[in-house]
């Protein structure tokens, strides 16, 4: 059955999103099954924040900047799902990503806007997917139908690519996996008339408990399998029977509303996925038993996943630089040479990022199948995995001990304490309440559980940075310059003879 869009309602709204999560999904947190995700305190802030942003898609201010009219159905659809066919389309998509990230301060690594392009990237290789034959499904058609289904329903996807981290000792990166890992990896148990039955696990899937669908595939590290049963890419609803979602400890809990202004609203959660004889219908499978299309995609050099993540990183850098600047002003250290230089370093990184984004936009190109790709951005993603921790380090160095020593909301409200706080904990020309809130924001960026999780995310989310550096090096063309060096070395020194 082709995924039906006849009842699709187009761009997601807040209420529809919240209601979509009440579907008996099997989410586990701290040893207990979560009865209702949108009502649970660990998820409520994030879900309500996403609902708020979804509602902007239907607001007078943002409707035209976040949605387009689907030619097929007349539905208003999110620009996150637009298949870009021109430079103008890329600009429209960039603006949409700007809005998502302005609204969420660049804190959502796996927002709906960030996951949609993963399906666009698969759509772009639909011919290659379709070249692998299976008597029961046409993989190329499946991805085209699935893209349309997601676009017309504006679904929120998570994605899961890695094997469980049990024993990596026999797992050379980019090479054939060893048999022990195959037993743990997600694999096909049997084929039925309805689809394939799968068992195994995935580590990990950010935003899984608050998603509509789970897109499951293999990362570059895991693509080369010794057992074809472990080669599969598909997407299923998050409430699929037999799928368990195990959450990590939330980072959204904290003291007081302003104590954790980011953690409270932007804990997107990370989760293990356990599959026990789960049915994946034939029309939801994009790759099976043969990974050659995805292997070819790795060297294809087309970039559809660009804007949402790059724009997010830019907003995150802008936020860190601005918070550090305000802190330096609030305690009167901004004129000191060392502090100014550190702020200048943060601003330099942020500006370099903006220049690079403009560069990849300038280098955009039309692919053979008529989609518009951004220019090469591999190095940018690797660069930020190392640059993010430097930004955090600079913020901590500029803030001094104030980043941990601030009064809470209840301290401020207590008349027995307030006089002391007004006198000893105010800043230069700013009152204690402003200063406390500002430093707590810095704390949430650079110290709290939320801040630390964000840092771990930045380092790992694009896959192992070392693997990525090695892959980049393998494709890095130095022939021209190495030949010139060899030529120079072969010549007599200038002052000889
Ligand atoms: C916060 C967060 C969110 C994430 N969200 C998602 C998501 O939404 N979807 C998703 O699919 N994935 C997600 N990931 C997973 C991420 O892609 C992986 O963490 C990353 O690919 C590294 O894999 P790993 O965690 O299994 O580490 P491992 O591969 O187990 O690495 C552990 C250590 O061993 C080293 N190592 C491992 N194998 C080798 C080898 N063969 N040779 C040399 N050194 C080796 C590594 O360099 C590292 O130091 C997320 C990760 C984090 C931390």
- Residue-level pLDDT at 225: 85
- Residue-level pLDDT at 98: 98
197, pLDDT greater than 70: yes
Ligand 1 pocket: which of 272, 463, 464 to mutate (most atoms <8 Å of CB)?
A: 464
Query: 286 near 233, Cβ under 8 Å?
Result: yes
257, pLDDT greater than 80: no
Secondary structure (DSSP) of 374-428: BPP-HHHHHHHHHHHHHHHHHHHHHHGGGGT----HHHHH-HHHHHHHHHHS--S
174, pLDDT greater than 60: no
Ligand 1 pocket: which of 461, 468, 470 to mutate (most atoms <8 Å of CB)?
A: 461
- Residue-level pLDDT at 305: 83
- Residue-level pLDDT at 213: 98
- Residue-level pLDDT at 297: 86
| pLDDT, tens only, 63-91 | 999 999 999 999 999 999 999 999 999 99
- Name the residue among 84, 139, 155 with its Cα closest to residue 372: 84
Ligand 1 is surrounded, with C-beta below 6 A, by 110, 159-162, 165, 168, 171-173, 204-206, 270, 456-457, 460-461, 463-464, 466
Q: Which residues make Cβ contacts (< 8 Å) with residue 132, sequence separation at least 6? A: 139, 287, 288, 289, 290, 292, 293
Q: Per-residue pLDDT averaged across 266-287, rounded? A: 98
- Residue-level pLDDT at 294: 93
Indicate the length of the chain as a whole number. Answer: 497
Secondary structure (DSSP) of 198-250: EEEEEEEEETGGG-SEEEE---GGG---SSGGG-EEEEEETT-TTEEEEE---
Task: Determine the distance separating the centroid of ligand 1 and the alpha carbon of 111, expressed in angstroms.
Answer: 20
Task: Determine the distance separating the centroid of ligand 1 and the alpha carbon of 468, expressed in angstroms.
Answer: 11
CATH architecture designation of domain 14-298: Beta Barrel (2.40)
Of the pLDDT bands very low, low, confident and very high (cuts 50, 70, 90), residue 180 is low
Query: 111 near 393, Cβ under 8 Å?
Result: no
389, pLDDT greater than 60: yes
User: Which atom of ligand 1 is the closest one to the Cα of 462?
Assistant: 17
- Residue-level pLDDT at 45: 94
> How many of the other CB atoms lie within 10 Å of CB of 414?
12
| pLDDT, tens only, 314-330 | 999 999 999 999 999 99
Of the pLDDT bands very low, low, confident and very high (cuts 50, 70, 90), residue 300 is confident
Report the CATH fold assignment for 306-482. Answer: Butyryl-CoA Dehydrogenase, subunit A; domain 3 (1.20.140)
254, pLDDT greater than 70: no
Q: Who wins on pLDDT, 388 or 301? A: 388
User: Which atom of ligand 1 is the closest one to the Cα of 159?
Assistant: 9
Task: Give the integer Cα–Cα distance in Å for 15 and 24.
Answer: 17
Q: Per-residue pLDDT averaged across 255-284, rounded? A: 92
Domain extents for the chain? Answer: 14-298, 306-482
282, pLDDT greater than 90: yes
Task: Determine the distance separating the centroid of ligand 1 and the alpha carbon of 11, expressed in angstroms.
Answer: 33
- Residue-level pLDDT at 220: 86
- Residue-level pLDDT at 255: 57
Domain pair 14-298 / 306-482, same fold: no
Alpha-carbon torsion 66, 212, 186, 229, what sign?
negative
Mean pLDDT, all residues of the chain = 94
Q: Who wins on pLDDT, 227 or 103? A: 103
350, pLDDT greater than 70: yes
| Nearest-CA residue for atom 47 of ligand 1 | 464
Alpha helices in 154-305 (DSSP H): 179-184, 263-266, 292-298
Q: Among 164-178, 285-299, 366-380, where is mean pLDDT lowest? A: 164-178
Task: Determine the distance separating the centroid of ligand 1 and the alpha carbon of 132, expressed in angstroms.
Answer: 29
- Residue-level pLDDT at 224: 86
- Residue-level pLDDT at 181: 58
Q: Among 184-188, 208-212, 331-335, where is mean pLDDT lowest? A: 184-188
Query: 444 near 260, Cβ under 8 Å?
Result: yes
If you ran DSSP here, which 8-state letter would residue 154 be given? T
351, pLDDT greater than 70: yes
175, pLDDT greater than 60: no
| pLDDT, tens only, 400-459 | 999 999 999 999 999 999 999 999 999 999 999 999 999 999 999 999 999 999 999 999
3-state secondary structure of 439: helix
Task: Determine the distance separating the centroid of ligand 1 and the alpha carbon of 202, expressed in angstroms.
Answer: 12
Q: Per-residue pLDDT averaged across 331-355, rounded? A: 98
Ligand 1 pocket: which of 168, 201, 207 to mutate (most atoms <8 Å of CB)?
A: 168
Task: Determine the distance separating the centroid of ligand 1 and the alpha carbon of 201, expressed in angstroms.
Answer: 15
- Residue-level pLDDT at 456: 97
Of the pLDDT bands very low, low, confident and very high (cuts 50, 70, 90), residue 179 is low
How would you list the strands of the sheet with 232-237, edge to edge?
157-160, 213-216, 232-237, 285-288
CA 379 remoteness from chain centre: 17
- What is the enclosing helix (H) or strand (E) of 188? strand 187-191
User: Which atom of ligand 1 is the closest one to the Cα of 160?
Assistant: 11
1, pLDDT greater than 70: no
Ligand 1 pocket: which of 114, 118, 162 to mutate (most atoms <8 Å of CB)?
A: 162
């Amino acid at each position: 059955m082709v995924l039906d869009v006849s009842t699709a309602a187009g761009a997601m709204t807040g209420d529809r999103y919240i209601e979509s999560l009440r579907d008996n999904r099997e989410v586990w947190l701290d040893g207990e099954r979560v009865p209702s995700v949108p009502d649970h305190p660990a998820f409520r802030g994030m879900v309500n924040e996403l609902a708020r942003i979804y509602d902007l898609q239907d607001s007078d201010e943002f409707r035209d900047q976040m949605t387009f009219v689907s030619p097929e159905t007349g539905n208003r659809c999110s620009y996150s799902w637009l298949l870009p066919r021109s430079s103008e389309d890329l600009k429209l998509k960039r603006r949409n990503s700007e809005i998502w990230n302005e609204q969420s301060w660049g804190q959502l690594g796996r927002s709906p806007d960030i996951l949609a392009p993963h399906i666009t990237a698969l759509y772009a290789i639909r011919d290659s997917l379709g070249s692998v034959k299976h008597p029961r499904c046409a993989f190329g058609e499946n991805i085209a139908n699935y893209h349309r289904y997601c676009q017309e329903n504006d679904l929120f996807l998570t994605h899961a690519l890695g094997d469980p981290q049990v024993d990596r000792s026999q797992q050379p990166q980019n090479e054939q996996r060893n048999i022990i890992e195959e037993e743990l990896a997600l694999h096909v148990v049997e084929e039925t008339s309805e689809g394939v039955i799968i068992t195994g696990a995935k580590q990990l899937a950010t935003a899984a408990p608050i998603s509509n669908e789970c897109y499951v595939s293999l990362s570059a590290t895991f693509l080369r399998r010794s057992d074809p049963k472990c080669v599969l890419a598909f997407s299923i609803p998050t409430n699929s029977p037999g799928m368990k979602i195990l959450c990590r400890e939330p980072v959204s809990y904290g003291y007081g509303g302003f104590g954790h202004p980011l953690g409270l609203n932007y804990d997107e959660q990370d989760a293990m996925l356990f599959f026990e004889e789960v049915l994946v219908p034939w029309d939801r499978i994009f790759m099976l038993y043969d990974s050659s299309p995805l292997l070819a995609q790795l060297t294809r050099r087309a970039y559809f996943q660009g804007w949402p993540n790059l724009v997010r990183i830019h907003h995150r850098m802008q936020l860190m630089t601005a918070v550090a600047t305000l802190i330096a002003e609030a305690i009167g250290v901004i004129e000191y040479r060392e502090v100014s230089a550190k702020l200048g370093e943060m601003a330099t990184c942020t500006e370099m990022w903006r220049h690079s984004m403009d560069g990849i936009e300038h280098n955009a190109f039309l692919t053979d199948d008529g989609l518009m790709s951004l220019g090469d951005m591999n190095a940018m993603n690797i660069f930020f995995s190392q640059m993010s921790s430097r930004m955090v380090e600079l913020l901590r160095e500029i803030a001094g001990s104030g980043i941990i020593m601030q009064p809470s909301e209840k301290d401020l409200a207590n008349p027995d304490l307030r006089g002391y706080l007004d006198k000893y904990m105010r800043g230069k020309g700013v009152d204690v309440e402003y200063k406390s809130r500002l430093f707590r924001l810095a704390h949430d960026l650079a110290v709290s559980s939320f801040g630390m999780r964000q840092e771990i995310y930045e380092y790992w989310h694009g896959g192992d940075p070392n693997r990525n550096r090695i892959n980049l090096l393998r494709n890095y063309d130095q022939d021209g310059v190495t030949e010139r060096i060899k030529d120079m070395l072969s010549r007599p020194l200038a002052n000889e003879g």
